[in-house]
Amino acid sequence: MQAILSIQHILQEVFGYGEFRGPQQAIIEHVVGGGDALVLMPTGGGKSLCYQIPAITRQRAGLGITVVISPLIALMHDQVGALHEAGVSAAFLNSTLSGEEAAQVERRLLRGDITLLYAAPERVTTPRFLAQLDCLHESGHLSLFAIDEAHCVSQWGHDFRPEYRALTVLHERYAGVPRMALTATADSLTRADILERLQLQDARQFVSSFDRPNISYTIVEKRDATQQLLRFISAEHLGDAGIVYCQSRKRVEEIASLLCDEGIAALPYHAGLDNKVRQANQDQFLRSEGIVMVATIAFGMGIDKPDVRFVAHLDMPKNIEGYYQETGRAGRDGQPADAWMCYGLQDVVNQRRMIDESPADEEFKQGLRGKLDALLGLAEATDCRRVRLLAYFGEASKPCQNCDNCLTPPEVWDGTEAARKLLSTIYRVQQMSGISYGVGHIMDILRGKSTDKVTQRGHETLSTFGLGATFSEVQLRGVLRQLIAIGAVTVDARAFNTLQLTDASRAVLKGEVPVRLRESVSSPAARKAKRASMPAVVKAPASLDADGQSRYVALKAWRAEVARQHNLPAYVIFHDTTLTAIAQRAPQSLDDLQGISGIGAKKLEAYGQEVLRVMAHACV
């Protein structure tokens, strides 16, 4: 009972929250008691508190420091900054520190002056760092290991990092020290791998719902991707912070430039940029209002910015785990957000080629193909996106009424006959020529187009020539995507992306497997005239009245100035939800600020009088 009272007190006193969310309390109680844990909780679900509160509780009980293992420098900086704001002693060891700064942190570590120490897996497993942990362990001052982004340990995870495998040393060397592994994304295969690789087979598993009900999912067929993206942002998210993911560095640069030309404040981020430029762009995204970051998947993990209003994919990701993790960076504050993806047949072909050309063994490649097929199935689905997405993670749900398929049910047509004609064409071409051909050539034959390539090879004499003339190329490409999704056709990257039939094609050819497809509704957006970049506009919550909105705008301006002074993202000072609550309450005394979510004792002491001053001026 004392521990429960203690963690509730820390939640309120340090972090300013009145109650725990979901399974947080059960996780924290288990870890405070010395238990090992595997925690799966969606992005924005409050994973950090699950190790921060045990760290504080166990430190106050004299059990020593908590080591947080993370591969993410940006997360280390922001979380340590946020803990300092909350009055908690925390530090990090990473490559951004000078030799003297790192030595100072190490001295504090050995003195026991730190509650939470953040470090990368590469550093944790060095002989020097392990020797320091040995000293702490021998003196009884090594309290807890928290392994964040734990999916990185698994070859089945979407962001495998070999250095995570070496973390087995923690169990072998410090068997009595509790360990917890945390991640936002892991299917059953990845979950089993985490438990085995980190030797957490006996750990208690806490699996939260993967549902993010505030995120609306939309997936559209790629027609003119850049214009479709412009239409989406211009119509729904002008002036909002967002992330646009692209497959290549070149594409990132092109899209960032295009958005800027259209008056949308955008920045590029990819591994090919100079480190200083990349860091500056990330800092601007985190610290400014209304920036759109155009990036490869090198960007995002560990980004805690709560007010990202949309995540857009201009190319299809590799698997559902990656898609879920990336879309989960939208709406961390719980407010409405959008996940928008544009995909096409070429995306499928490119992803298949990368799998086939990888040096991995065939069993591993087959696993990757299965994951890609699951994502393609999600994209081609005509039923609820969220039901499909959650089912992938083993979670049953009901139609959400907050995805494109629920809000605007697609028209569906029977593509079975078109599928049979397409498969027959692939078969007859191979039978006649002894070799396979790519998508374009098969489409030309089926639609009866007498191109030079068709006539030179005599393919206009095939019985299927022109049989698909009544179908548009868009329809036939949709049929082909569906056939790839169900495994009736494969794309052979080693033979110039030629189409190959599989055993599963027989059932389709015989009419035993129906092929139902969504009607194409995608259309390119109209080209707009170029315009100068628009300044970000502070959007006050509609729930506030006119006076409340004025107070909110004033609070945001004050918070931005404080954040600049502290060199921290604004949300580390106070989240938007906290500013909204302050603006709504219109406090006139420190007592009036008590109990507002997000205002702990340290922040009340540090900022209470300033907030009251801002309120007084805003109300004049």
Written as one letter, the residue type at 605 is: E
Task: Express each pLDDT in 549-600 by its tens digit.
Answer: 999 999 999 999 999 898 888 889 999 999 999 999 999 999 999 989 999 9
* The pairing of beta strand 337-343 with beta strand 90-93: unpaired
Res 4: pLDDT: 55
Task: Express each pLDDT in 470-510 by its tens digit.
Answer: 988 888 888 888 788 777 888 776 667 788 898 889 999 98
* Statement: residue 608 has pLDDT above 50: yes
Instruction: Assign 273 to helix, strand or coil.
Output: coil
Token look-up 């990202």 returns: 308
DSSP line for 44-110? TS-HHHHHHHHHHHHHHTT--EEEEE-S-HHHHHHHHHHHHHTT--EEEESTTS-HHHHHHHHHHHH
Which residues face 414 on adjacent strands?
516
Burial of 538 (0-12, 13-18, 19+ CB in 10 A): middle
Q: Which tokens belong to 93? A: 């060891």
Written as one letter, the residue type at 151 is: H
Percent of the chain with pLDDT over 70: 94
In angstroms, the CA 617 to CA 620 distance is: 5
* Statement: residue 36 has pLDDT above 90: yes
Return all residues near 279 (Cβ < 8 A) that are at least 6 apart: none
Give the least confident one: 39-43, 68-72, 523-527. 523-527
Written as one letter, the residue type at 555 is: L
DSSP line for 482-515? HHHHTTSEEEEGGGTTEEEE-TTHHHHHTT-S--
Task: Express each pLDDT in 90-126 by its tens digit.
Answer: 999 998 889 999 999 999 999 989 999 999 999 999 9
Rg from Cα positions in the chain = 27
All domains in the chain, ordered by first residue: 2-207 (3.40.50.300), 215-407 (3.40.50.300), 412-518 (1.10.10.10), 546-618 (1.10.150.80)
In angstroms, the CA 482 to CA 476 distance is: 10
Percent of the chain with pLDDT over 90: 59
What letter would DSSP give residue 530? P
What mean pLDDT, rounded, does the chain reach?
88
Mean pLDDT in residue range 523-544: 52
CB of 331 closer than 8 Å to CB of 214:
yes
Instruction: Assign 521 to helix, strand or coil.
Output: coil
In angstroms, the CA 568 to CA 548 distance is: 26
Task: Express each pLDDT in 426-450 by its tens digit.
Answer: 999 988 888 888 888 999 999 999 9
Instruction: Say how many residues make up the chain.
Output: 620
Q: Which tokens belong to 45? A: 């679900």
Res 529: pLDDT: 40
Mean pLDDT in residue range 380-395: 90
- Dihedral sign computed on CA atoms, order 207, 213, 215, 221: positive
Res 318: pLDDT: 87
